[in-house]
């Protein structure tokens, strides 16, 4: 029997089969999206009479995102306030249930920014427990490994750096910030940007709670609150959802290339003590990816009391084959003899995934606008060949704080707009070591777009970076939007992935369980679709539903319709690990990731 | 709350470092019920109590944000905290109830980490107060409380006199969200800090945990065709 009519949307799609003949095809699509960003509540009869007024509070500075950038900015502001004996109210909101729970990174931390922020970080107990002792780089083939010498001067060289569990480091930064008087509110997501009448940013509003899955108000419905500030910092990390809106609002991307990304998947393993080499850093490129798909692996041996290794796999999201599954590439990479020998006999204890920036210098947008600024991986300061972005994210937060402080504490900020516009932040960035670093490596990632792919890129790096340090006068371009790179499924070959063996490689659902992710079930799916009919009509029809493969959490599934004929997209929003890959890679750009009720998402512990 | 639990390498317990600690779901229901009673003006003041290390003040703040008036943090940390169980907590609650001259103690029926379901009952016994456990409905009627209890056979309605101990079951209410403005206001509410010794409670445990292990991996089942096969297999592995 057909589902009840109230659950269906009828979509009429016209199909030009021949220029002289038009056919109309009626497709019945079950309703998927119910979020108010797609179906506004002021036109929704179920919301009539519901109190929508929000409580508002004022701070000097509001920071969205409790990651390295946001926390460094908050800390720097409070340090300056203490030095100059001024009062400053700094509020930070973070969607995770605790600071660090949504943090995921390799990570080899370069302590440059930390040394500036807290020269006494060791005495303060910062969890940098594993100095890098060994640095290995390999090109893998299916059965063998070609070692590549890690010459000093190559961007990946890790001398002087520390292997860290970034989630723990971020948690420590949060403690330092609270000690300095920053008001930190984990479990509250910034859901909306607020604007003054003159168009400048006024602050943010946190998420509403108590909306049912079908978009109607529950008994426990409560509006979020408004936090107003003289200037608002947006540090949402890679591909933030509010940043996406701000790019359009203030035209921040008119003079830069569209950002390009990769997805990083990571696991933590407790291994056999005999195989443990604390301080060892291993990176590889090559197998199982072909030479035209950018990506590689990392495996770091931590030194924190037990034989723990952090390992993972990165795949550039400019890949062209819709049958590629980054998750399954990761799982099969672990079977390579060089990797398997470390993991054999070990136990996997954690899993997670996150998108990361790859665009570098060419993709930096304008970072200041009236009332706000962008910091950290949100605009994207990651040094791609170094595979490091934490030190630049922290530094960008610190530079933002230093530019803001005199303005927010001034008697008369002399601003044209109600929200302060502080272009000095952008000037400071351009004069800092962040800019020099990103400029020097700007051509490495784009150099992979040549016939020889990976090998061409490595030759370019060896010649131009190692010898010339990026001083070549040209700037190479990236290939364009990642979402536009997929070829139609019929032009590509499906990839035969091996079945997981349950010892080294695992299936998707047991992996997602290890991420600890969960969301309040009765809320509108936060993976919103601008048009519910496009997944089947476009993504499935042309690209064989690539979201089933690039989502590292099994959120997207094409299942048969109950009526028997055809398929529908099922969105398992509760599985989402907030990686943002779908928003980036969807070939139809129909998916808009918005923030779910605060506290939802993964429960990473030191990832 | 959805974190994968890991046994410590020395099998002395589970790993709790870095794991987000949040309010026990049944305790959220208990706090909600108390706040509802206050909103109906049937009780004057709600005090939120928690025993544990510094982190528990965050949980107390959530209770304050939901509407409690003030908090009490009974500080227990280190070895004492690892060994702390329902008996010590009940002693603490009993001592506090007398000190504060409470007329009602409301708690969750059980904690979802140990599933003991003992604290409410032990507290009532130590105080010699009546108890209304597994409450799915609470009505105050003068000096008496009518409690509808969820029991195996269905629902049981009892009437008990105050002061009394109530434990909350799932269907008692739906807890409200602790909204951000309330979290901010809660920062101004007082949380008193004390130690078990201040209440004359000794924290020595009568229980010693010998070893903690993960449950054995479930073995695959074997299908049999006939009853005779079944009997033969059961005999073969020594079950009968």
> Which residue of B1, B3, B177 is in closest CB contact with A222?
B177
CB contact under 8 A, B6 and A603: no
A98 touches chain B (CB under 8 A): yes
Fold assignment, A56-465: FAD/NAD(P)-binding domain (3.50.50)
Would you call the peptide bond into A107 cis, given omega within 30 degrees of 0 as the criterion?
A: yes
Residue predicted with more confidence, A155 or A570: A570
Please list the active-site residues of A. 105, 354, 390, 551, 576, 579, 582
pLDDT at position B9 is 82
CB contact under 8 A, A168 and B18: yes
Average pLDDT for chain A: 91
A185 touches chain B (CB under 8 A): yes
A224 touches chain B (CB under 8 A): yes
> Which residue of A183, A210, A605 is in closest CB contact with B177?
A210
pLDDT at position A87 is 93
Which residue in chain B is spatially nearest to A57 when comparing CA positions? B181
A41 touches chain B (CB under 8 A): no
The ipTM of this complex is 0.82
| B131-166 pLDDT per residue, tens | 999 999 999 998 999 999 999 999 999 999 999 999
Residue B83, min C-alpha distance to chain A (Å) = 24
**Residues from B in contact with A at Cβ < 8 Å:** 1-4, 6, 9, 17-20, 22, 174-177, 179-181, 183-184
pLDDT at position B129 is 97
CATH assignment of B6-237?
Answer: 3.40.50.620
CB contact under 8 A, B20 and A188: no
CB contact under 8 A, B6 and A171: no
Does the structure show a pLDDT above 90 at B238?
no
What whole-number percentage of chain A has pLDDT above 90? Answer: 80
Does the structure show a pLDDT above 80 at A249?
yes
Judging contacts by C-beta atoms under 8 Å, the chain A residues touching residue B175 are: 220
Please return the burial class of A37, using the count of CB atoms within 10 Å of its CB with bins 0-12, 13-18 and 19+: middle
Terminal C-alpha separation, chain A: 47
**How far apart are alpha carbons A383 and A395 in whole angstroms?**
13
A514 touches chain B (CB under 8 A): yes
What's the pLDDT band for A27 if we cut at 50, 70, 90? Answer: low
Residue A516, min C-alpha distance to chain B (Å) = 4
Closest CA to A549 of A327, A239, A312, A264: A327
What is the average pLDDT across A308-325? 95
Which residue in chain B is spatially nearest to A305 when comparing CA positions? B9
> From the CB of residue A374, how many other CB atoms can be counted at a distance below 10 Å?
30
Does the structure show a pLDDT above 60 at A40?
yes
pLDDT at position A28 is 64
Judging contacts by C-beta atoms under 8 Å, the chain A residues touching residue B22 are: 97
Token match 């923030």: residue? A595
* Number of A–B residue contacts, CB under 8 Å: 56
Question: Structure pTM?
Answer: 0.90
Residue predicted with more confidence, B35 or A477: B35
Residue A107, min C-alpha distance to chain B (Å) = 18
- The DSSP output letter for A518 is B
pLDDT at position A607 is 94
Does the structure show a pLDDT above 70 at A19?
no
Does the structure show a pLDDT above 50 at A13?
no
**How far apart are alpha carbons A186 and B100 in whole angstroms?**
33
pLDDT at position A1 is 47
Average pLDDT for chain B: 92
CB contact under 8 A, A57 and B9: no
pLDDT at position A23 is 43
CB contact under 8 A, A97 and B174: no
CB contact under 8 A, A514 and B2: no
pLDDT at position B133 is 96
Give yes or no for a contact between A340 and A275, defined as CB atoms under 8 angstroms apart: no
List the domain boundaries for chain A.
Answer: 56-465
Specify which residues B139 forms β-bridges with.
B146
Closest CA to B48 of B80, B96, B3, B83: B96
């Amino acid at each position: 029997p057909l589902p009840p009519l109230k659950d269906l949307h009828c979509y009429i799609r016209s199909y030009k089969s021949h220029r002289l003949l038009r056919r109309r095809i009626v497709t019945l699509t079950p309703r998927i999206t119910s979020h108010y960003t797609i179906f506004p509540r002021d036109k929704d009869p179920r919301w009539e009479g519901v109190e929508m007024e929000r409580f508002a509070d004022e701070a000097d500075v509001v920071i969205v995102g409790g990651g390295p950038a946001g926390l460094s900015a908050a800390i720097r502001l409070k340090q300056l306030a203490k030095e100059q004996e001024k009062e400053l109210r700094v509020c930070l909101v973070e969607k995770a249930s605790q600071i660090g729970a949504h943090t995921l990174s390799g990570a080899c931390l370069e302590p440059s920014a930390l040394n500036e922020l807290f020269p006494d970080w060791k005495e303060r107990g910062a969890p940098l427990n594993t100095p890098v002792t060994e640095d290995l780089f390999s090109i893998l083939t299916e059965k063998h490994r070609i070692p590549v010498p890690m010459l000093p001067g190559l961007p990946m060289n890790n001398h002087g750096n520390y292997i860290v569990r970034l989630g723990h480091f971020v948690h420590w930064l949060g403690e330092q910030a609270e000690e300095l008087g920053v008001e930190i509110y984990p479990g509250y997501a910034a859901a909306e940007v607020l604007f003054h009448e003159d168009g400048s940013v006024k602050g943010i509003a946190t998420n509403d709670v108590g909306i049912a899955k079908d978009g109607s108000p529950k008994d426990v419905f409560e509006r979020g609150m408004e936090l107003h500030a003289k200037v608002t910092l947006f540090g949402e990390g890679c591909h933030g959802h509010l940043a996406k809106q701000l790019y359009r609002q203030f035209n921040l991307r008119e003079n830069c290339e569209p950002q390009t990304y990769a997805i990083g998947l990571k696991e933590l393993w407790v291994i056999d003590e005999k195989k443990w080499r604390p301080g060892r850093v291993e990176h590889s490129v090559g197998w199982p990816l072909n030479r035209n798909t950018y990506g590689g692996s990392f495996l770091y041996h931590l030194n924190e009391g037990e034989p723990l290794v952090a390992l993972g796999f990165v795949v550039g999201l400019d890949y062209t084959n819709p049958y590629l599954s980054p998750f399954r590439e990761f799982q099969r990479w672990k079977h390579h003899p060089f990797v398997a020998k470390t993991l054999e006999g070990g136990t996997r204890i954690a899993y997670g995934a996150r998108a990361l920036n790859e665009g570098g210098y060419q993709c930096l947008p304008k970072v200041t606008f009236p009332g706000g600024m962008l910091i950290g991986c949100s605009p994207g300061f990651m040094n791609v060949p170094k595979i490091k972005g934490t030190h630049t994210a922290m530094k960008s937060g610190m530079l933002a704080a230093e530019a803001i402080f005199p303005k927010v504490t001034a008697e008369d900020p002399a601003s044209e707009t109600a929200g302060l516009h502080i272009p000095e932040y952008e000037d400071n960035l351009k004069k800092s070591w962040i800019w020099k670093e990103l400029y020097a490596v700007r051509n490495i990632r784009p150099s992979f777009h040549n016939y020889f792919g990976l090998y061409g890129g490595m030759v370019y790096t060896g010649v131009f970076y190692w010898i010339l340090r990026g001083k070549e006068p040209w700037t190479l371009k990236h290939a364009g939007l990642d979402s536009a790179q997929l070829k139609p499924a019929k032009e590509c070959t499906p990839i035969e992935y091996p079945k997981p063996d349950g010892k080294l490689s695992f299936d998707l659902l047991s992996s997602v369980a290890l991420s600890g992710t969960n969301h309040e079930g009765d809320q509108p799916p936060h993976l919103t679709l601008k048009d519910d009919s496009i997944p089947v009509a476009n993504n499935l029809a042309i690209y064989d539903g690539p979201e089933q493969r690039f989502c590292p959490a099994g959120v997207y599934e094409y299942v048969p319709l109950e009526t028997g004929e055809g398929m529908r997209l099922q969105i398992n929003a509760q599985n989402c690990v907030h990686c943002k890959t779908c928003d980036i890679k969807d070939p139809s750009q129909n998916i808009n990731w918005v923030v779910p009720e605060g506290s939802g998402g993964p429960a990473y512990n030191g990832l | 709350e959805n974190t994968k639990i890991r046994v410590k390498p020395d099998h002395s317990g589970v790993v709790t470092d870095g794991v987000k600690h949040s309010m026990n779901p049944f305790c959220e229901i208990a706090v909600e019920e108390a706040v509802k009673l206050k909103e109906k003006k049937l009780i004057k003041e709600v005090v939120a109590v928690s025993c544990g290390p510094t982190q528990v003040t965050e949980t107390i703040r959530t209770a304050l944000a939901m509407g409690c008036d003030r908090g009490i943090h009974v500080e227990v940390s280190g070895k004492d905290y690892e060994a702390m169980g329902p008996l010590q907590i009940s002693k603490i609650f009993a001592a506090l109830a007398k000190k504060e001259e409470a007329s009602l103690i409301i708690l969750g029926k059980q904690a979802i980490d140990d599933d003991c379901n003992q604290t409410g009952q032990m507290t009532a016994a130590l105080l010699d107060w009546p108890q209304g456990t597994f409450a799915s409905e609470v009505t105050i009627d003068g000096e008496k409380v009518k409690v509808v209890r969820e029991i195996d056979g269905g629902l049981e309605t009892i009437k008990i006199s105050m002061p009394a101990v109530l434990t909350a079951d799932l269907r008692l209410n739906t807890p409200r969200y602790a909204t951000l403005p309330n979290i901010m206001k809660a920062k101004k509410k007082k949380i008193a800090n004390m130690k078990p010794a201040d209440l004359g409670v000794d924290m020595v445990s009568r229980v010693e945990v010998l070893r903690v292990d993960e449950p054995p991996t479930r073995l695959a089942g074997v299908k049999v065709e006939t009853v005779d096969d079944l009997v033969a297999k059961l005999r073969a592995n020594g079950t009968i």
